[in-house]
Amino acid sequence: MGKVATSEALRFMTDCLKAVGAASKAAQQQAELLLQADRLGHPSHGLNRLEYYINDIKTGACCPNNEPRVLKESASTAWVDANNVLGATAGHFAMDLAVSKARDTGVGWVSVKGSNHFGIAGWWAQKAADKGLIGMAFTNTSPLLAPTRSKQSALGTNPIAVVAPAENGESFYLDMATTAVAVGKIEMQLRKGEPIPNGWAQGPDGKETTDAALAYETQCLMPLGGVENTSGYKGFGLSAMVELFCGILSGSLYGHHIRSWSHSGEGGAADLGQCFVALDPGCFAPGFHHRLTDCMQHWRQLQPTDSNLPVLAPGDKERKNAAVTDTCGTVTYLQQQLETSAALANTLNVDPMKVTS
């Protein structure tokens, strides 16, 4: 393990993206997105993802300096072609548009095609919440979820994110995959050389596996809820709902038509579908922020089943991790990540990350 100053991690990731041709703004925005994942305690979507973006640009699967454009819009909706830009570029364009429409009409709903991996979905919902709105973000992904009773994957991890502002600096923050876990968590177990827990993934025989390497090779994650008798069909249904909002609504690739994403950058453009929503709570019953704060504080005060593990409100873990990161001014990476990052720096002829300890 090694600690790296957050400013240094941001510099390194930005330099790597610029080294393969991304313009300064696009590189900076994508690097900020990755750093935010590490800051909040979601390393599967942080530095861990950098090489995927690098290889997509190098192979031409992603065109980082294109510009998104609006294909069709109404007062409260828009259909956007991301034009194969980096996910962060598409996300900022689309959520800014959704926020603008919500300010005018109370709601903004933006459907995006032609996009790429947009990192943690919560980053985009938070963008709307920072403006006093309820934010929602969804995306489809490469097929990784095995529908209930299936040996094969057919849908993505298809995350759901909802962030809403409350009183006294509080906020509701939900960012969850509709699979039991994101595939990046299996990658992190591989990096650590550790098995995965039961309920995360299945092997080629359709049975649960704890072998991280086999799970990563099979690429069949279990839906949220696990097997059928523990309500895994609900996770399958939620993933299908996200696909409806993303690929099917936007006209992008969807479900089983999306390429498999790998370090090689092979398979052509991702053409992911995404959905960005902003909603003005002021258009509804007064007192929204107070009621939300009351709920969150009540949940935390419930008697826990384990006195060492207090009940948490959605977003508490992320806030705690962010506070620790901000206080220390560093992010912690596995030794294997530091080694692969050093190799990447050498390949791209950029200054490697400086490890503080």
pLDDT in tens, 145-159: 999 999 999 999 999
3-state secondary structure the chain: CEEEEHHHHHHHHHHHHHHCCCCHHHHHHHHHHHHHHHHHCCHHHCHHHHHHHHHHHHHCCCCCCCCCEEEEECCCEEEEECCCCCHHHHHHHHHHHHHHHHHHHCEEEEEEEEECCCCCHHHHHHHHHCCCCEEEEEECCCCCECCCCCCCCCECCCCEEEEEECCCCCEEEEEECCECCCHHHHHHHHHHCCCCCCCCEECCCCCEECCHHHHHHHCCECECCCCHHHCHHHHHHHHHHHHHHHHHHHCCCCHHHCCCCCCCCCCCCCCEEEEEEEECHHHCCCCHHHHHHHHHHHHHHCCCCECCECCCCCCHHHHHHHHHHHHHCEEEECHHHHHHHHHHHHHHCCCCCCECC
Residue tagged 């995360």 (tokens): 200
Q: How far apart are CA 318 and CA 326, in angstroms?
A: 12
Backbone φ, ψ for residue 239 (5° rounding): -65, -40
Q: What's residue 182's pLDDT?
A: 87
Q: What's residue 157's pLDDT?
A: 96
| Residue 263 · residue 51 · CB < 8 Å | yes
| Residue 145 · residue 158 · CB < 8 Å | yes
Structure tokens at 284: 């509804």
| Residue 150 · residue 111 · CB < 8 Å | no
Residue tagged 């980096």 (tokens): 86
Q: What's residue 149's pLDDT?
A: 96
pLDDT in tens, 191-238: 899 999 999 999 999 999 999 999 999 999 999 999 999 999 999 999
Residue 262 has pLDDT above 80, yes or no: no
Q: Which residues contact 303 (CB under 8 A, 6 or more apart)?
A: none
Bridge partners, 355 (sequence order): 4
Report all structural domains of the chain as residue ranges with CATH numbers, in order of start: 1-59+319-357 (1.10.1530.10), 66-180+225-314 (3.30.1370.60), 187-220 (no CATH)
Over residues 92-120, the mean pLDDT reads 98
| Residue 219 · residue 84 · CB < 8 Å | no
Residue tagged 């909040």 (tokens): 40
Q: What's residue 357's pLDDT?
A: 80
Q: By mean pLDDT, which of 46-60, 116-130, 253-267, 316-330 is the weakest?
A: 253-267
Per-residue exposure over 204-218, b if at least 16 CB sit within 10 Å of its own CB, e if not: eeeebbbebeebeeb
Q: How confident is the model at residue 132 (pLDDT cuts 50, 70, 90)?
A: very high
Residue 253 has pLDDT above 80, yes or no: yes
Over residues 313-337, the mean pLDDT reads 96
- Compute how many other C-beta atoms are within 10 angstroms of the C-beta atom of residue 308: 5
Q: How confident is the model at residue 184 (pLDDT cuts 50, 70, 90)?
A: confident
Task: Report CA-CA distances (Å) from 8 to 11, 14, 35.
Answer: 5, 10, 10
Q: How confident is the model at residue 183 (pLDDT cuts 50, 70, 90)?
A: confident
| Residue 124 · residue 87 · CB < 8 Å | no
Q: How far apart are CA 284 and CA 269, in angstroms?
A: 41
Residue 80 has pLDDT above 70, yes or no: yes
Over residues 39-58, the mean pLDDT reads 96
Q: Which residues contact 129 (CB under 8 A, 6 or more apart)?
A: 135, 163, 164, 165, 171
Q: What's residue 94's pLDDT?
A: 99
pLDDT in tens, 263-313: 666 789 999 999 999 999 999 999 999 999 999 999 999 999 999 999 999
Over residues 96-102, the mean pLDDT reads 98
* C-alpha 150: how far from chain center: 25
- Mean pLDDT of all residues in the chain? 96
* C-alpha 106: how far from chain center: 26
Over residues 70-76, the mean pLDDT reads 98
Q: What's residue 55's pLDDT?
A: 96
* Type of residue found at 191: R
Q: What percent of the chain has pLDDT over 70?
A: 99
Over residues 247-276, the mean pLDDT reads 92
